[in-house]
Amino acid sequence: MAEIPLDEAMRTLRAVRRLRPDPIPDAVLRRVLDAACQAPTGGNRQPFRIVVVRDHAKLARLATLYAEEWRSYVALHRKMTEGAPEAAREADRRMLASGDHLADHFGELPALLVFCFDPRQMAITDAELDRISVVGGASIYPAVQNALLACRAEGLGCVLTTLLCRREAEVRALLGIPQPWGTAAAIPIGYPAGRGHGPIQRRPPEELAYADAWKTPWRVHDAD
Amino acid sequence: MAEIPLDEAMRTLRAVRRLRPDPIPDAVLRRVLDAACQAPTGGNRQPFRIVVVRDHAKLARLATLYAEEWRSYVALHRKMTEGAPEAAREADRRMLASGDHLADHFGELPALLVFCFDPRQMAITDAELDRISVVGGASIYPAVQNALLACRAEGLGCVLTTLLCRREAEVRALLGIPQPWGTAAAIPIGYPAGRGHGPIQRRPPEELAYADAWKTPWRVHDAD
Q: What is the ipTM of this complex?
A: 0.97
Best mutation target, A141, A161, A206, A224, to test chain B (most B CBs within 10 A): A141
Best mutation target, B81, B118, B132, to test chain A (most A CBs within 10 A): B132
Specify if B199 maps to a domain.
Answer: no
- Indicate the burial class of A117 (C-beta count within 10 angstroms; 0-12, 13-18, 19 or more): buried
Specify if A62 maps to a domain.
Answer: yes
pLDDT of residue B8: 98
Length of chain B: 224
Angstroms from B6 CA to nearest CA on chain A: 4
Name every chain A residue with its beta carbon within 8 A of the beta carbon of B46: 202-203, 208
pLDDT single digits (tens) A43-73: 999 999 999 999 999 999 999 999 999 999 9
Cβ distance A6 to B9 less than 8 Å, yes or no, reads yes
pLDDT single digits (tens) A76-96: 888 878 888 888 888 889 999
Name every chain B residue with its beta carbon within 8 A of the beta carbon of A39: 10, 145
Task: Give the number of other Cβ atoms within 10 Å of residue A52's Cβ.
Answer: 22
Is the sign of the CA dihedral B95, B116, A95, B126 positive or negative?
Answer: positive
Specify if A1 maps to a domain.
Answer: no
pLDDT single digits (tens) B95-152: 999 999 999 999 999 999 999 999 999 999 999 999 999 999 999 999 999 999 999 9
Residue A91 amino acid letter: A
Q: Are A146 and A35 contacting, i.e. CB atoms less than 8 angstroms apart?
A: yes
Specify if A224 maps to a domain.
Answer: no
To the nearest whole percent, how much of chain A has pLDDT over 70?
99
Angstroms from B51 CA to nearest CA on chain A: 5
Q: Where residue A25 falls among pLDDT bands split at 50, 70, 90?
A: very high
Name every chain A residue with its beta carbon within 8 A of the beta carbon of B5: 3-6
pLDDT single digits (tens) B82-95: 888 888 888 889 99
Specify if A215 maps to a domain.
Answer: no
What is the residue-averaged pLDDT of chain A?
95
pLDDT of residue A76: 87
User: Region A183-207: what's the mean pLDDT?
Assistant: 97
pLDDT single digits (tens) B26-52: 999 999 999 999 999 999 999 999 999
Does the pLDDT at position B222 exceed 80?
Answer: no
What is the residue-averaged pLDDT of chain B?
95
Of A30, A142, A152, the CB nearest to B145: A142
pLDDT of residue B223: 57
Does the pLDDT at position A31 exceed 90?
Answer: yes
- Helical pair B86-105 and B56-80, crossing angle rounded to 10 deg: 160
Domain encompassing residue A173: 6-208
Specify if B82 maps to a domain.
Answer: yes
Best mutation target, A1, A3, A4, A6, to test chain B (most B CBs within 10 A): A6
Specify if B107 maps to a domain.
Answer: yes
pLDDT of residue B89: 84
**Which CATH number characterizes residue B75's domain?**
3.40.109.10
CA angle centred on A86, ends A82 and A88, rounded to 5°: 80
Angstroms from A106 CA to nearest CA on chain B: 15
| Domain total of chain B | 1
Specify if A216 maps to a domain.
Answer: no
Helix (H) or strand (E) holding A115: strand A111-117
Cβ distance A213 to B54 less than 8 Å, yes or no, reads no
